[in-house]
Structure formats: structure tokens, C-alpha cells
Amino acid sequence: MLQIQKIRSDKDFIIKKILEIRNINVADQINKIYDLDLQKRETQKILDEFSSKMNVLSSQIGTEFKAGNIDKANDLKKQTTTLKDKIKLLVFWRVVFKSNRSCLLRHSPNFKIP
């Protein structure tokens, strides 16, 4: 099976070599794998940012409750609810991108990489 790290670094080389060795044009398939990987990585980056925001908000909620600012704490809790919904959606899409990428990788023609 082709390795995603190799596709990231030498996508054009892989396409050329498979065409030479196997006489199969896999440009569309390799480009699709590459694009899915980019989407998965971008989704993970956004997820990491949202998780960081969630940690900050959680800390602020505790601080506001301790200070007696119940209304402010409840507003922050509403923000966390919205953020949790966004995180759930992003986790779903990250799994979709990753599973589609893996499926395409498994069904891609292979060759021995020097």
C-alpha cells in the first residue's frame, strides 16, 4: 500500500512511476488521496483550535461562577454548547476524509519505492 507521507512529498513522482511500471494512469486517484489528506489535516487543525477555545472558555466559566457572575458564566456556557456542536461536526468530517483516503490508498496500484 502506498504511504501517505510519500504521496505528500513526491506525488508527481508516484504518478509517473506507476504509469511507467504498471501502465496505469492514477493521477486522478493520487490527486484525490492528496486532496482528502489536505482536508483531513485542515479539519484537524480547526479541531485543535476549537479544543483550545473550549479549554479557555471552561476555565473562564469556573472563574465567573467563583466571582458570582452567574449571567456571564451562563453566556459562556452557551458558547461552549455551540462550540461542542461544531466540534462534533468536524470530528465527523475528519473521520469521513480519513476513511475515504484510506479506502483509496488500499485500492491504489502499488510499486516498490526505492
pLDDT at 114: 57
pLDDT at 109: 86
pLDDT (tens digit per residue) in 41-54: 999 999 999 999 99
What secondary structure letter does DSSP report for 7? H
Secondary structure of residue 66 in the 3-state scheme: helix
Distance CA 58, CA 53 (A): 9
pLDDT at 2: 85
- CATH class belonging to 4-106: mainly alpha
Secondary structure of residue 47 in the 3-state scheme: helix
Residue 13 is which amino acid? F
Specify the pTM.
0.82
> What parts of the chain have a pLDDT lower than 70?
112-114
